[in-house]
């Protein structure tokens, strides 16, 4: 169960938190268990089986690459994106893998990494199994992992345990109604409640850690802006942020430039960098990683008077809202469609913006509710399994909706008919009712009605 700001905002690499970051984490966990059980020295072969959405869109989401990196003990937050392709090419060329970064074993990607396209594991759409064998083909270790969204990974036992996990916090809440009641009783903002809880979790340097998260987001925007060319993959999609920035900064440009042009630029730059496998922050996922940074960057450029204070308040508020979705619904597109990614990011960004614009807790909750209400039913149907179309542009749309949701909420006193708790429950139920072909499988929607190449 997620409780911390840094559970939602995690530094990793693109293109997907559930399909790239999650499997890399699973690989790390597996080799750590091998070492803990003193079985690494006996391991001569490892096999990975991918199921459900991990299999169906795994190649486009670099799941195969992530699995190999995880088994090599490379971590999402530390691996150098520039080194990833050379690592993988070396494995392909030599049919060897340095397990846990220590032991060389035979590894053939076609035989030892299997995409089970027609099989889903019952527990979750993003399932995988890793097995280690000795020289006599005896099983040394076998584990099933589930990448449940936003880079979170659980094994079979943890799926049950997390439902009953209890953490003692100064301000414990399981719903937006409880959160608002605490804010009223303590006369505190949502950000203040979140930061107080964060201190109880043992972090002595919360503000600097939040600011570091923003610096990684900001660096991602800048790399996306400064990098021209074509994105990897079958679509051969041209990167647009670089040219967009040139037009916005061209002194001879006579077009009426709206501040939303910058918002679109920030979102597009982030998700083009994500699609290229660059360094990003889950917010709350990689596929939706551009919404929150774009809205925050837009606020800092056009409205902020105290950047550090605004960054901390914005991200702490957004995290408090994101935790409600993670706790009571899902942030996995494979489970509930893109409403669980772009929709949640839009809701979080709307709340963060309303907070830094001076909104009351009730107005912040209203902004979050509006942000999700108008993303209900949003499907996930990436063309050719790539986190590119419609994903990149969809981040710009999510950012625009977030700003409008915030503006609508701030124009009134926060009184409204639909509560955030109700829209979260609706989103979850809508996702469960949604046909699986619209949930990150590339078997429906745009994915089959648009020619990939």
pLDDT of residue 344: 98
User: What is d(CA 135, CA 105) in angstroms, rounded to the nearest whole number?
Assistant: 11
User: What is d(CA 435, CA 442) in angstroms, rounded to the nearest whole number?
Assistant: 12
Read off the DSSP letter of residue 95: T
Q: Are 64 and 113 in contact (CB under 8 A)?
A: yes
pLDDT tens digits for 66-82?
999 999 999 999 999 99
Model pTM score: 0.95
> What is the three-class DSSP state of 248?
helix
What angle do the packed helices 342-356 and 291-302 form, to 10 degrees?
Answer: 20
pLDDT of residue 101: 96
pLDDT tens digits for 127-140?
999 999 999 999 99
> What is the signed CA dihedral for 99, 275, 14, 394, rounded to 10 degrees?
-150
pLDDT tens digits for 336-394?
999 999 999 999 999 999 999 999 999 999 999 999 999 999 999 999 999 999 999 99
Residues 6+ positions from 166 with CB-CB distance below 8 Å: none
Q: How confident is the model at residue 452 (pLDDT cuts 50, 70, 90)?
A: low
pLDDT of residue 128: 98
Give me the phi and psi of 147, to 5 degrees please. -90, 100
Q: Are 190 and 313 in contact (CB under 8 A)?
A: no
pLDDT tens digits for 336-352?
999 999 999 999 999 99
Out of 55-64, 196-205, 336-345, 374-383, least confident range: 196-205
Report which of 350, 3, 5, 1 is spatially closest to residue 212, judged by C-alpha positions: 5
Q: Are 32 and 97 in contact (CB under 8 A)?
A: no
Residues 6+ positions from 364 with CB-CB distance below 8 Å: 190, 317, 321, 351, 354, 355, 409
Report which of 224, 357, 244, 343 is spatially closest to residue 299, judged by C-alpha positions: 357
CA 254 vs. chain centroid, Å, equals: 38
> What is the three-class DSSP state of 401?
helix
pLDDT of residue 165: 61
pLDDT of residue 195: 97
Average pLDDT, rounded, for the chain: 95
Residue 256 has pLDDT above 80, yes or no: no
Phi-psi group of 382: left, alpha or beta (phi > 0 → left; psi -120 to 50 → alpha; rest → beta): beta
pLDDT of residue 453: 57
Residue 108 has pLDDT above 60, yes or no: yes
Alpha carbon distance, N-terminus to C-terminus of the chain: 41
Give me the phi and psi of 320, to 5 degrees please. -60, -40
pLDDT of residue 258: 85
Length of the chain counted residue by residue? 453
DSSP string, 140-175: EEEEEEEEEETTEEEEHHHHHHHHH-----SS--SS
Beta strand segments in 305-426, E: none
Query: Tokens 């905002």 map to which residue?
Result: 9
Q: How confident is the model at residue 156 (pLDDT cuts 50, 70, 90)?
A: confident
> What is the three-class DSSP state of 74?
coil
pLDDT tens digits for 206-248?
999 999 999 999 999 999 999 999 999 999 999 999 999 999 9
User: What is d(CA 351, CA 355) in angstroms, rounded to the nearest whole number?
Assistant: 6
The average pLDDT across 163-176 equals: 83
Residue 163 has pLDDT above 90, yes or no: no
The average pLDDT across 420-441 equals: 97
Residue 98 has pLDDT above 70, yes or no: yes
């Amino acid at each position: 169960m997620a409780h911390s700001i840094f559970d939602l905002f995690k530094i990793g690499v693109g293109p997907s938190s559930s399909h790239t970051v999650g499997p890399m984490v699973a690989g790390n966990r597996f080799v750590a268990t091998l070492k803990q059980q003193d079985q690494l020295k006996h391991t001569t072969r490892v096999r990975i089986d991918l199921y459900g959405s991990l299999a169906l869109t795994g190649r486009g989401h670099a799941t195969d690459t992530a699995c190999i990196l995880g088994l090599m003990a490379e971590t999402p937050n530390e691996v150098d994106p520039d080194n990833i392709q050379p690592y993988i090419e070396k494995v392909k060329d030599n049919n060897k893998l340095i397990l846990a970064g220590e032991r060389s074993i035979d590894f053939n990607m076609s035989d030892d990494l299997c995409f089970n396209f027609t099989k889903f594991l019952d527990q979750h759409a993003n399932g995988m199994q890793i097995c280690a064998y000795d020289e006599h083909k005896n099983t040394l270790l076998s584990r099933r992992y589930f990448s449940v969204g936003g880079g979170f990974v659980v094994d079979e036992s943890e799926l049950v345990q997390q439902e009953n996990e209890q953490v003692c916090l100064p301000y414990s809440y399981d719903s937006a109604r409880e959160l608002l009641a605490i804010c009223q009783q303590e006369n505190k903002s949502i950000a203040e409640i979140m930061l107080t809880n964060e201190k109880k979790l043992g972090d002595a340097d919360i503000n600097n850690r939040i600011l570091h998260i923003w610096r990684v987001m900001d660096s991602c925007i800048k790399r996306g802006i400064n990098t021209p060319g074509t994105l990897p993959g079958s679509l051969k999609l041209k990167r647009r942020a670089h040219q967009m920035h040139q037009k916005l900064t061209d002194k001879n440009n006579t077009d009426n430039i709206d501040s939303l042009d910058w918002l679109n630029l920030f979102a597009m730059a982030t998700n083009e960098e994500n699609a290229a496998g660059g360094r990003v922050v889950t917010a709350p996922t990689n596929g939706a990683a551009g919404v929150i940074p774009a809205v925050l960057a837009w606020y800092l450029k056009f409205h902020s008077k105290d950047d550090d204070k605004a960054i901390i308040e914005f991200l702490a508020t957004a995290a408090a809202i994101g935790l409600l979705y993670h706790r009571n619904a899902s942030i996995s597109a494979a489970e509930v469609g893109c409403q669980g990614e772009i929709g949640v990011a839009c809701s979080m960004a709307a709340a963060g913006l309303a907070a830094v614009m001076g909104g009351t807790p009730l107005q912040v909750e209203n902004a979050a509710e509006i942000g999700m209400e108008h993303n209900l039913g949003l499907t996930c149907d990436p063309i050719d399994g790539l986190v590119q179309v419609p994903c990149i542009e969809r981040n710009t749309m999510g950012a625009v909706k977030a700003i409008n949701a915030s503006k609508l909420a701030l124009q009134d006193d926060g009184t409204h008919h639909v509560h955030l708790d109700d829209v979260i429950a609706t989103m979850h139920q809508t996702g469960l009712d949604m046909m699986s072909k619209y949930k990150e499988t590339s078997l429906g929607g745009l994915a089959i009605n648009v020619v990939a190449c």
